Structure 1
Amino acid sequence: MATWLLWALALLASAAGQETCRQAYANFRPPCRDGMPATFRLGMHYEDRNTLLGFMVEATKDVECCQMVGGRSWEVGFHLMSYLATLGKRNASLAREVSTCLGEPGDALGQILYGIFCAPSVCEGDVGPLAMQRLIYNVCRLHVRPPPFEDVAADELTNWRSISMDFAVAGVGRCGTQSVLNNLYQHPEIDFTLGKSEEDYTLFGQGQLSKFVPTKQQVAKHRASYAGKGDANDATKLLGLNNPVIVTYPLSYYALYLMKTVKVVLVVCDPLRRLEKLFLYHHYCHEDFDAAVRRFDAIPRHLNTRKDCDRSARALIGNQRKWAKNQAFGSHVEELIKLFGHRRLFIVHQASLREFPRQTYGKLAAWLGATQPFAAETIFKRYNFRLGYRTDLCQNSSLQNVLKSMLASEYAALQLAIQWQERRFPQPLATQELRGKRSRCDMAEELVEGPCGLSDDDQSGCPQLGREAAGR
């Protein structure tokens, strides 16, 4: 009996809350834009970048406008197809009018509509149906009942600036981001959201989980992921996030841009070196897939299932040519330079990390805001790399030349990037390697099998002595 009473009271409270929201929303007329275009649609990753940034800026303005008038912003998802089916059973004529106005239900973009709506502060997730009722009237001039709750979902939104973070290691994947994470982690003033060796996808999955502005739930999940881990909650430390794919998703690095104070670390490397490592991971036929997965040389799902793997790197100019071209990141680097400038962007080449680690990491830590140098006894290590022949690429000079020609725009973009970085940190060795298109295939010391770099799951790393220790 007591349980039934509690359940009944909860229903009454919920109904009272909905009615309070309905009354407040009926008279709520904020000067903010309601509805479209405001949030993610399928295929948005492939839109023109200026369009994407424009959407994100406008969406941010919508959220800020709502905050200024004391409201709360909601991303409302409306399952149009389901709603039209329900409405059609009651009023077929009205359903056709709504369909004509909002989009054909068979259209992939018309099945679920998303928009940002500003509502009174008293409203909770029950604002969704009311928001869609108002949208249908404002856009179509049609009077409908609020859609049923099963056809509408609402998530409260916040601002990218609400995320407290100092910097992000944003890529480029397969160029040394793991080494940067693990080595910076040794500095007493620097910490990462998920600690040593971890990549953080809580905010930035592939296109930050498909959001132009973050939901409160998304931000809470991000904060909870590192709560109590190490010193990530120590306000005296510089807090960073490591995610090596950010650089290849405009939605993600535009989000960093909108955070305004977050700095971005970008690690670049020889394009041919990176392409071979990606090929090794995604497409190469390993003699022993089980061992390759343990070494992180292959994607686990490929284990014992791949029938279409490639036995030679020649596939990069054959059946994998299109895939190889899609790995290009030079244009993203150029975009980051335009967005962030010297104050918020630091570009470091793998050659600098490899040959001059103490100088490079010291400069990077100081740029991030550290007030003291690394301890004298700090040993800088190199992670996630391979000595010896990874594929047959380095045994085929003609294939190397063809691929270097195919990657010409990448080499040019990186040369300009390192030249741009000279103002804050000259990297002559990197410039030399890029101009000569010098890859690991041209470095005898990289092709000799050795005790280091044999397994990514060995987080002890390999001492990275470089030219500094050798006195070169």
Structure 2
Amino acid sequence: MGLRVWAEGQEFGNACAAAYGADVAKWRTLSGVPTEYSPRGHRPDWYWESDSDRVAKLQLDDVGYGDSWLEVLFGQAQEGMIGCSVHGGRYWEATVDLPKLLLLLPSSNRSVFLEKVVGITPPTLKDAILAGFLPPSLRLAMCVPYDCTGKAIVNRIFPEFEAEKLFGAEVAGLLNDAISADVVVVEELLNWPSLQLDFAIAGLDNCGTTSLHRNLNQHPEIAFSTTSEDFFFTTEVVHRLLPLKSQVQEFNRRMEMAKDKKLQETGIRPHLAGICSPTLFAYGLARMGLALVGEAKVVMSVCDPLGRLERHFMEYRYCHNHNDTLGLEVAKQQLLASPISTREGCFSSASALWEERQTDAMRRLWDATATSQHLGSMMALFFGRLLPMHREFLHEPDRTYSIVAAFLGVRYTYPEKTVFGHFNAVGGHRTDLCKNKSLVRRLQRQLEPEYQASIQFLRHAGSPVPESLSKRLTRCKSADVLEVRCPGRETAC
């Protein structure tokens, strides 16, 4: 029997507080899991001392975004959510705006707060925040009885139970009149399987992902969240270990709208909905969140590492001043150069890929195109529900897209006379790289770990390895004759 039933005749907030207070130790034990990512270094010493097994597991993983650390954080979050549900509760995240809270206090109470909580008496609240003594907000994960509402949490549970726990009894007594919905904002949390997502094109960027997206979108049984890239996992929830209910609802609403739109266009309602997020593979947090979305499948394409490196160089670091007719601004208009390509300067020759590789700007370019450290993680996370392929096979569209459709679980029922185009493709001499054979050989030797990683990635999943990859053949072989250019997502070659 729910709280709303047995509490009939009482003020609902009182009933919620009574249910929480009747077993406060249980609810607090189920609370407190991390809901957002924090680097390892931000954890206090007692956290590590309390679990020697966790320390042993992570001692070789010193990278803040390392998979082992992310596994611990995501694991704790999932366990907390499940444990709360098993005990008849729901998980909420409360965010306390400390500056706003203090401003609502009388000045005398404010001084007591800073002295008791922070241990200092700075001249002003602003000074305390700027000096790093006081964080701008305080986040608290709470498991509460299932029928409690956000309003009841703010008005009753937080001031009566959690304020004293957080700030101490003396300070908590000063806050009763200051705590309000403006100061303490609560949002319900959900688990990753709540997202209505069947599959994702998760990379690699500039390896045919646009063509995969646009051509798969022609299938009447498949809908995509948007005709452009979807940044949900890489920006909106990228630091979250548990998504907010509001984020889940908005994502699912977009998916339903995409299906409705496809129904209006084709007369068939799709039963699969996906996203295209070409850089998702490179974000440890994003790929971990996606891996927890039920049975969501992943399609990925790899390509020649040298060609991909040159493409990134062309877009972000090349000056495009090799003749009088094509300057950088013209290249931007033609979508050959990114609008942000001049932010850190540009280089007049691809030789900078080697000669300037130790500079900060060029090192970031190399890091952005590195895949070897990510492909293994993707295979481990999505083994059995990952379809890798080489971009070269997109040139056999009938065969390739029938394989992809079968993998996703739809019938191969593209409309008659469907044309499978190539998108975001730039042929010919994109830079002066292919005119410098010694530079090509030098860069290929440097990229050998990338070649090995791509081959292993394909073989591990039983996907064919094309001769061009195994023999390290580059696009330079056809640069003199293949002048096809259709940069961008809208025009097909």
Rate the CA distance shift 1:36–1:283 in 2: closer, same or farther, 3 A. same
Partner secondary structure for residue 78 of structure 1: strand
Equivalent residue, structure 2, for 1:76: 94
Matched to 2:230, the amino acid is: D
2:378 is matched with which residue: 323, 326, 336?
Answer: 336
Equivalent residue, structure 2, for 1:263: 297
Matched to 2:338, the amino acid is: I
Matched to 1:60, the amino acid is: Q
Unpaired segments ≥5 residues, structure 1: 1-15, 463-472
Equivalent residue, structure 2, for 1:184: 216
Partner secondary structure for residue 241 of structure 1: strand
State, as a whole percentage, how many aligned pairs show the same letter.
28
Partner secondary structure for residue 191 of structure 1: strand
2:366 is matched with which residue: 303, 318, 325?
Answer: 325
Matched to 1:223, the amino acid is: N
2:405 corresponds to 1:365: yes
Equivalent residue, structure 2, for 1:12: none
Equivalent residue, structure 2, for 1:159: 191
2:391 corresponds to 1:394: no
How big is the shift at 1:85? 7.1
Partner secondary structure for residue 210 of structure 1: coil
1:291 is matched with which residue: 318, 330, 353?
Answer: 330
How big is the shift at 1:265? 0.8
2:425 is matched with which residue: 377, 385, 390?
Answer: 385
2:262 is matched with which residue: 213, 223, 231?
Answer: 231
How big is the shift at 1:408? 2.1
CA distance in 2, matches of 1:26, 1:310: 66
Equivalent residue, structure 2, for 1:50: 68
Matched to 1:231, the amino acid is: K
1:64 is matched with which residue: 82, 85, 94?
Answer: 82
Matched to 1:265, the amino acid is: V
How big is the shift at 1:334? 0.2
Matched to 1:200, the amino acid is: D
Rate the CA distance shift 1:250–1:100 in 2: closer, same or farther, 3 A. farther
Equivalent residue, structure 1, for 2:140: 115
Equivalent residue, structure 1, for 2:34: 37
How big is the shift at 1:110? 4.3
Query: CA contact under 8 A between 1:296 and 1:457: conserved in structure 2?
Result: no
Equivalent residue, structure 1, for 2:59: none
How big is the shift at 1:346? 0.8
1:403 is matched with which residue: 434, 439, 443?
Answer: 443
CA distance in 1, matches of 2:270, 2:319: 48
Equivalent residue, structure 2, for 1:353: 394
Query: CA contact under 8 A between 2:223 and 2:273: conserved in structure 1?
Result: yes
1:171 is matched with which residue: 179, 203, 207?
Answer: 203
How big is the shift at 1:19? 5.9
Query: CA contact under 8 A between 1:192 and 1:239: conserved in structure 2?
Result: yes
CA distance in 2, matches of 1:71, 1:163: 20
How big is the shift at 1:126? 6.1
CA distance in 1, matches of 2:134, 2:472: 44
CA distance in 1, matches of 2:95, 2:373: 33
Query: CA contact under 8 A between 1:17 and 1:123: conserved in structure 2?
Result: no
Query: CA contact under 8 A between 1:177 and 1:267: conserved in structure 2?
Result: yes
Q: Deviations over 1:227-273 (max 9, x none)?
A: 43323797652221111121111111111111131001111111111
CA distance in 1, matches of 2:290, 2:134: 27
1:304-315 equivalence runs, <5 A: 306=343, 308-315=345-352
Rate the CA distance shift 1:61–1:398 in 2: closer, same or farther, 3 A. same
Matched to 2:228, the amino acid is: E
CA distance in 2, matches of 1:260, 1:181: 22
Equivalent residue, structure 1, for 2:481: 448
CA distance in 1, matches of 2:109, 2:93: 28
Q: Comparing 248-257 with 132-141, which one deviates more in the overlay? A: 132-141
Partner secondary structure for residue 434 of structure 2: helix
2:146 corresponds to 1:148: no
Equivalent residue, structure 2, for 1:127: 153
Rate the CA distance shift 1:110–1:329 in 2: closer, same or farther, 3 A. farther
Partner secondary structure for residue 205 of structure 1: helix
Equivalent residue, structure 2, for 1:3: none
Rate the CA distance shift 1:457–1:268 in 2: closer, same or farther, 3 A. closer
Matched to 1:336, the amino acid is: M
Q: Deviations over 1:368-418 (max 9, x none)?
A: 112335456333221101111111222222222232222222111111111
CA distance in 1, matches of 2:192, 2:151: 21
CA distance in 1, matches of 2:95, 2:348: 46
CA distance in 2, matches of 1:108, 1:397: 58
CA distance in 2, matches of 1:183, 1:53: 35
Partner secondary structure for residue 486 of structure 2: coil
Rate the CA distance shift 1:140–1:406 in 2: closer, same or farther, 3 A. farther
Matched to 1:316, the amino acid is: L
Q: What's the TM-score, normalizing by structure 2?
A: 0.77
Equivalent residue, structure 1, for 2:58: none
Equivalent residue, structure 2, for 1:9: none
Equivalent residue, structure 1, for 2:314: 280
Equivalent residue, structure 1, for 2:284: 250
Rate the CA distance shift 1:93–1:285 in 2: closer, same or farther, 3 A. same
CA distance in 2, matches of 1:392, 1:109: 54
Rate the CA distance shift 1:209–1:449 in 2: closer, same or farther, 3 A. same
Q: Deviations over 1:98-132 (max 9, x none)?
A: 2369xx95449944333321223232156358448
RMSD (Å), alpha carbons:
3.2
